[in-house]
């Protein structure tokens, strides 16, 4: 009689636990966009919040846990609801945001957090004709930012100059997600037309194209290595699935597996140090995690963190900031429906307090490998890595110098679109002023009627 073989893996016993160091009292956005609404770096936590008459998000220093004041200062410069936010991986004080007002903005957050509402952005990027759904920073080149709009357009920006450097116009329907590969030389996208595309981000040319998940709901895509894509989506019967693809041929998935029949969009989070993927669905209470391997069956289910509280979104802490002495390999910040943010820590159970080299190989640094100009000229480079054995020490670089706003407005937008955008924003401002006057007049009328 043959004995069953147990697969050996150092991550087979990874377990997740909720931390008591939570953030509470936040007015979370009710926006229906399939965004995480919560992003974190080694200094700050940013959460998209509900705001009347415009868009705003909170920025909280990580050490300021507990209840957040209802009147706490926020970033309030957008004229429409904020759709997505993303921290610059090479500048811990810079965050990009996009909104319903067709604008992409970059903000500088002072050390220690905000002391007053921040209304003046460092850079305004105008180029989209409809609302902008997502923003993503380049993984190796400094100041390169990608934005995807509901105008089926992806624009790559040089934030240092405020210029649009590439306009990718190969999509014919809503863009659900964008992802760079490890060195940023390729970009993968998922779209409402159910296709997965691999694109050259410098010129917008399609490298590969294939049919993705058959369902009509949102699909997400991420690179997990130079030759692998990982996607989450839905089948024709609205079953949630994950799939693994070979980038050399994405006409058919290497593996596609059904997960469950829930309705929430699944967000994949990949950790290249451990080759683990964490799947968390909107409205779910649990987080599943898997280990990826090169050969068949390509993906092994490990376990799941279970909770009865549904999540609105999740943010992932950079690997360089995890609790190394306690063998923490991942930390997710879970955004609850009622304004609570709860850190979920995933650890490998080990008794030794010595540095575990097999769990913590060199991870992503906070230094860019290339300047924006070097990357645009065609140069590629692997991301810089750091060793966590002696702890993480932030790199010191010159302060970001914002370009003139006039340069951003005039050069980033083609001539034919500039006047239309200006007229749109002028009209929105006039409508807002009229609404304020109307509200004031209504208060006066009610006061007179009471008298």
**CB of 311 closer than 8 Å to CB of 335:** yes
Q: Looking at 18-27, 342-351, 385-394, 439-448, which range is the least confident one?
A: 439-448
Within-domain flag for 325: yes
Within-domain flag for 257: yes
pTM equals 0.86
Within-domain flag for 7: no
Within-domain flag for 8: no
The predicted model gives 267-292 an average pLDDT of 94
Are 404 and 422 contained in the same domain? no
CA 150 from centre of chain = 17
Cα gap 174→94, rounded to integer Å: 28
Are 320 and 445 contained in the same domain? no
- pLDDT confidence of residue 422: 56
Are 176 and 276 contained in the same domain? yes
Within-domain flag for 10: no
* Position 34 confidence tier, pLDDT thresholds 50, 70, 90: confident
- pLDDT confidence of residue 144: 96
Are 281 and 247 contained in the same domain? yes
Are 448 and 399 contained in the same domain? no
Are 447 and 338 contained in the same domain? no
- pLDDT confidence of residue 4: 47
**CB of 395 closer than 8 Å to CB of 367:** yes
Number of domains making up the chain:
2
Are 298 and 434 contained in the same domain? no
Within-domain flag for 319: yes
- pLDDT confidence of residue 412: 47
Are 251 and 397 contained in the same domain? yes
Are 399 and 444 contained in the same domain? no
HEC assignment per residue over 86-129: EECCCCCCEEEEEECCCEEEEEECCCCCCCCCECCCCEEEECCC
* Position 339 confidence tier, pLDDT thresholds 50, 70, 90: confident
Mean of all residue pLDDT scores within the chain: 88
**CB of 85 closer than 8 Å to CB of 75:** no
Within-domain flag for 377: yes
Query: Percent helix, strand and coil across the chain, each rounded to 5?
Result: 10, 40, 50
Beta bridge partners of 304: 288
Residue 442: domain span: 417-451
Are 150 and 169 contained in the same domain? yes
Coil, strand, or helix at residue 406?
helix
Coil, strand, or helix at residue 52?
coil
- pLDDT confidence of residue 385: 93
Are 375 and 430 contained in the same domain? no
**CB of 296 closer than 8 Å to CB of 276:** no
* Other CB atoms within 10 A of residue 383 CB: 18
CATH number reported for the structural domain that contains residue 57 in this entry:
2.130.10.10
For residue 406, is pLDDT > 50? no
- pLDDT confidence of residue 409: 44
Tokens 């991301």 belong to 383
Q: Which of 165, 215, 202, 207 is nearest to 189 (CA)?
A: 207
* Position 423 confidence tier, pLDDT thresholds 50, 70, 90: low
Cα gap 71→263, rounded to integer Å: 35
**CB of 96 closer than 8 Å to CB of 88:** yes
Are 71 and 43 contained in the same domain? yes
Within-domain flag for 92: yes
**CB of 118 closer than 8 Å to CB of 112:** no
Q: In what order do the strands lie in the sheet with 255-260?
A: 220-225, 228-234, 240-246, 255-260
- pLDDT confidence of residue 1: 41
Cα gap 288→6, rounded to integer Å: 20
- pLDDT confidence of residue 29: 85
């Amino acid at each position: 009689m043959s004995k069953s073989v147990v697969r050996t893996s150092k991550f087979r016993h990874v377990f997740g636990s909720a931390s008591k160091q939570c953030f509470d009292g936040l007015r979370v956005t009710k926006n229906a966009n399939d965004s995480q609404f919560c992003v974190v770096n080694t200094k700050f936590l940013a959460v998209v919040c509900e705001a009347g008459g415009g868009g705003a998000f909170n920025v909280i220093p990580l050490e300021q846990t507990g209840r957040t004041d209802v009147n706490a200062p926020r970033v309030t410069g957008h004229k429409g609801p904020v759709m997505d936010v993303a921290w610059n991986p090479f500048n811990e004080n810079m965050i990009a945001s996009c909104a319903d007002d067709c604008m992409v903005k970059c903000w500088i957050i002072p050390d220690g957090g905000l002391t007053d509402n921040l209304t003046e952005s460092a850079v305004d990027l105008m180029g989209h004709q409809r609302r902008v759904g997502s923003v993503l920073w380049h993984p190796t080149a400094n100041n390169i930012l990608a934005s995807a709009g509901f105008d089926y357009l992806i624009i790559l920006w040089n934030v240092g100059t405020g210029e649009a450097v590439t306009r990718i116009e190969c999509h014919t329907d809503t863009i659900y997600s964008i992802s760079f590969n490890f060195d940023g030389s390729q970009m993968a996208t998922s779209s409402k037309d159910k296709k997965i595309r691999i694109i050259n981000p410098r010129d917008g040319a399609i490298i590969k194209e294939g049919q993705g998940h058959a369902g009509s709901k949102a699909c997400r895509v991420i690179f997990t290595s130079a030759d692998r894509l990982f996607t989450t989506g839905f089948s024709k019967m609205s079953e949630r699935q994950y799939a693994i693809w070979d980038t050399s041929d994405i006409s058919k998935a290497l593996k596609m597996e059904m997960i469950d029949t829930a309705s929430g969009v699944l967000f994949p989070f990949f950790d290249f140090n451990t080759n683990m993927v964490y799947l968390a669905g909107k409205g779910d209470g649990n987080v599943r995690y898997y280990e990826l391997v090169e050969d068949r069956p390509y993906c092994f289910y490990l376990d799941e963190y279970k909770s009865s509280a549904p999540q609105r979104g999740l943010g992932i802490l950079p690997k360089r900031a995890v609790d190394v002495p306690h063998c923490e390999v991942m930390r997710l910040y879970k955004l609850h429906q009622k304004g609570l943010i709860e850190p979920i820590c995933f650890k490998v159970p080990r008794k030794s307090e010595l540095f575990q080299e097999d769990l913590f190989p060199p991870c992503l640094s906070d230094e860019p490998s290339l300047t924006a100009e070097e990357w645009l000229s065609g140069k590629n480079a692997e991301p810089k890595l750091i060793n966590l054995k002696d702890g993480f020490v932030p790199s010191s670089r010159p302060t970001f110098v914002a370009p003139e706003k006039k340069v951003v407005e005039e050069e980033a937008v083609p001539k034919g679109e500039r006047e239309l955008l200006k007229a749109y924003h002028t009209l929105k401002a006039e409508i807002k002023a009229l609404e304020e006057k109307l509200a004031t007049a209504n208060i006066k009328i009610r006061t007179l009627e009471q008298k």
